Amino acid sequence: MPSTNQLLGIFIFAMTLLSATSNTVNTSKNTLNFTIINKDKAIGTLKATKVVNGSKTHYQSITAIKTRVIKEIEVDYKYDVVFEDNLLKKSSVIIGVDDKPYADIITNRADKTYLITKNKKKESVIENAIHYATIVLYFKEPIGIDSCYSEQDGSFNTIVPLGNHVYKKINAKKHENVYYYEGGYLQKAEIDGGLIKFEIVAEN
């Protein structure tokens, strides 16, 4: 018959195992990699990750572009976006140009509204609940979605279905991006960046 110490040891081991299982059973991670192309030339990369942990979903994307617009420039984007129970809780967009800070846009939900700040200055307040944001477009085909929140602009973009799993997104500046899906995941997008137009193409 096991001693008291042995029983205690078995109990602690079982509780540790149960705790570890509880912490990981609802966690999943998905990573997508894209190549950024301009005039048939690769000019950068984009890596997007989605981590689901229970009711929370954390999206992150890191983009690095090196190209020439009058002169050669390097542009880096980092998105961090958190949803909880399918509702946007917070997003952060950090943009750097030639290794120097360019913009820091934060959307933060509090008291059922969203406060948008840019470079630590208040830009606007949004009262509508946000259930779909731009970063989600990498991972989920926007079936039945007619608008999405732009974490970079702090505004809502219009989504228009074009048929055959293709969608057009129109931002506040009337720039149009076109997204192509297969199996629910983004395969290619044609991006109008204003000064430069490019494509992002899935590597997987």
User: What residue segments make up the domains of the chain, in order of their start?
Assistant: 27-202
For 70, half-sphere exposure in the C-beta direction (CA atoms, 13 angstrom radius) is 1
User: In this predicted model, what pLDDT tens digit does every residue of 123-139 receive, in sequence order?
Assistant: 999 999 999 999 999 99
Nearest to 184 by CA among 158, 202, 160, 157: 202
- Segment (H or E) for 46: strand 41-53
Nearest to 134 by CA among 188, 95, 177: 177
152 band by pLDDT with thresholds 50, 70 and 90: very high
Question: Model pTM greater than 0.85?
Answer: no
Residue matched to tokens 């939900």? 109
Nearest to 151 by CA among 178, 181, 117: 117
CA gap 72, 123 in Å, rounded? 31
User: In this predicted model, what pLDDT tens digit does every residue of 77-122 receive, in sequence order?
Assistant: 999 999 999 999 999 999 999 989 899 999 999 888 999 999 999 9
List C-alpha distances in Å: 140 to 17, 35, 91, 116.
Answer: 34, 19, 18, 25
3-state secondary structure (DSSP) of residue 75? strand
Q: How much of the chain is in helix, strand and coil states, percent to nearest 5?
A: 15, 60, 25
Q: Is the confidence at residue 15, as pLDDT, over 50?
A: no
Cα 8 to chain centroid, rounded? 46
